[in-house]
Copies of this chain bind each other. A is one copy, B any other.
Amino acid sequence: VKPNDIDESPPPGPVPNVDVRIVLFTVCQGKLWIALNERSHCYCLPHGRPQPDESLDATAARILANQLRIQEQYIEQLYSLSGTDDGEWTVSVTYLGLALSGPAGLPEIAGRWFDAGAIPQTNAADSNITDYGLLRLRAKLGYTTVAFHLLPPSFTLSELQQVYESVLDRQLDKRNFRRRIHAAGILEPTGVSRREGSHRPAHLYRSRAAHDTETFLTPGWSSSTESETTDT
């Protein structure tokens, strides 16, 4: 078989725009929130264009940095899709992003935060991506340490559990939750306790995983720029 071979050199023909979109979540006050921007009487996901010599992850991080004042963040690629955006052929590379809410409240962003349980109308693609991002985030809670990116460097087990409950939108058993977290060995006790009410103080923990880029089915090389040849 020698059908039409690789279309390398032939006239490029039409070229799509490329944009990067981010499904940005945060957890605050026991709820999950998503960031949306307003565009032509409708809401849409934060997005931007990549630049040459910039990895897609870097593009996503840059867009996030432009959106958020503080840049405590986590990003992870979700999916890419082709479609028509604003009349133009566009290939969108989508990311899941996590932002850290302060005790003060929701992070300040260029757009607005919406309760993830009551998301306003967006275009169909953004809506699908949002659903998918939430699905992935929920799944990842089970086998990664992403949740730490929704918490400050030190936190109590109850706070961690509240993050899980907010994202999963259901209650968890305290004892089973604590057992699992301890068994996973991903927490390090700080030795410090926090007193904050008329009740027993809670121990503070920090992530032992040092906030690494959590990888399970996400490739580890995704943040580097492609290059020449390798040896194998």
Q: Which residues of A contact B (CB under 8 A)?
A: 1-8, 12-18, 37, 39, 42, 46-56, 59, 66-69, 77, 79-86, 89, 91-93, 108-110, 119, 121-125, 127-128, 131-132, 135-136, 139, 217, 219, 221-222, 225-232
Contact = CB atoms under 8 A, between A and B. Distances in A.
Q: Considering residues A6, A86, A125, which has the most beta carbons from chain B within 10 angstroms of its beta carbon?
A: A6
10 contacts: A3-B67, A3-B69, A5-B110, A6-B46, A6-B110, A18-B91, A83-B227, A84-B225, A84-B226, A127-B230
Contacts of A3: 66-67, 69, 110
Given A93-B91, A109-B1, A110-B1, A225 B139 contact: no
A67, A85, A127, A232 — most chain B CB neighbours (10 Å)? A232
Contacts of A222: 79, 81
Given A1-B69, A3-B67, A217-B139, A82 B226 contact: yes
Instruction: Quickly give the copy total for this chain.
Output: 2
A155 to B, nearest CB: 25
B39 A8 contact: yes
Contacts of A227: 83-84, 123-125
Given A1-B110, A2-B110, A3-B110, A231 B121 contact: yes
Nearest to A8: B39
Contacts of A226: 81-85, 92, 123-125
A80 B82 contact: no
Contact of A229 (B18, B84, B121): B121
Contacts of A55: 81-82
A6 B124 contact: no
